[in-house]
């Protein structure tokens, strides 16, 4: 089982705000990074560090963290945001686990 826990599925109405969460003890010491994956494609980094977006990632994507829980927020979700979202964080044992993934549906 994953050391990082995500809800399997989340849905959001078009244009509304959605939060995807990731829980794990390692998040108290390490920042999480978030990846978007669409069917048949490689994952794409959308958030890293405290709250950084790589070039080309829309500013509707943001990240936050408190205690053992990290969140990815999409403010004003678009149809193209549908996909699977994975969190990742290394831990102090040297492991590099991913969360189980959250399937986002935009209604």
Partner 1 sequence: QLQLHESGPGLVKPSETLSLTCLVSGGSISNTIYYWAWLRQPPGKGLEWLGHIYFGGRTFYNSALKSRLTISVDTSKNQFSLNLNSVTAADTAMYFCARHKSLARENWFDPWGQGAQVTVSS
Question: Taking CB under 8 A as the criterion, which residues in 58-87 touch partner 1?
Answer: 86
29 phi-psi bin (left φ>0, alpha ψ -120 to 50, beta other): alpha
Q: Binding partner 1 by CB under 8 A: which of 42, 66, 67, 79?
A: 42
Report H helices in the chain: none
How distant, in Å, are the alpha carbons of 6, 70, 90 from that of 28?
16, 9, 11
For the bound state, the minimum distance from the C-beta of residue 106 to partner 1, rounded and expressed in Å, comes to: 21
For the bound state, the minimum distance from the C-beta of residue 104 to partner 1, rounded and expressed in Å, comes to: 15
98 touching partner 1, by CB under 8 A: yes
Q: Binding partner 1 by CB under 8 A: which of 44, 60, 64, 68?
A: 44
- From the list 97, 106, 100, 103, the residue with the least C-alpha distance to 26 is 97
Rounded Cα–Cα distance for residues 42 and 49 (Å): 21
DSSP 81: G
Per-position x/- string for 8-37, each x denoting binding to partner 1 as judged by CB under 8 A, each - no binding? ---------------------xxx-x-x--
Give the nearer residue to partner 1 in terms of CB position, either 10 or 45. Answer: 45
Give the binding site for partner 1 (CB under 8 A).
2, 29-31, 33, 35, 41-45, 48-49, 54, 86, 88-90, 94-101
């Amino acid at each position: 089982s994953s050391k990082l826990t995500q809800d399997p599925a989340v849905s959001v109405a078009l244009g509304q705000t959605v939060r995807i969460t990731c829980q794990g003890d390692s998040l108290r010491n390490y920042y999480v990074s978030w990846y978007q994956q669409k069917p048949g494609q490689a994952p794409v980094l959308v958030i890293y560090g405290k709250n950084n977006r790589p070039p080309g990632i829309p500013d509707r994507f943001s990240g936050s963290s408190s205690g053992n829980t990290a969140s990815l927020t999409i403010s004003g979700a678009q149809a193209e945001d549908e996909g699977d979202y994975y969190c990742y964080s290394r831990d102090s044992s040297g492991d590099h686990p991913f969360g189980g993934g959250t399937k986002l549906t935009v209604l």
